[in-house]
Amino acid sequence: EAIRTDVTRILMNSELRMPEPVALPELPEFLTSHIDPFTGENDAGGERMAGADAMLGMLGGASPAALAHSADPYAGLGLTRNALCPCGSGQKYKHCHGAAR
Residue type, 14: S
Looking at residue 27, its pLDDT comes to 66
36-92, pLDDT tens digit by residue?
777 777 776 544 445 555 555 555 555 454 444 456 677 777 778 888 888 888 888
Question: Taking the CA of residue 66 as centre, how many other CA atoms within 13 Å lie in the half-sphere pointing to its CB?
Answer: 7
pTM summary value: 0.29
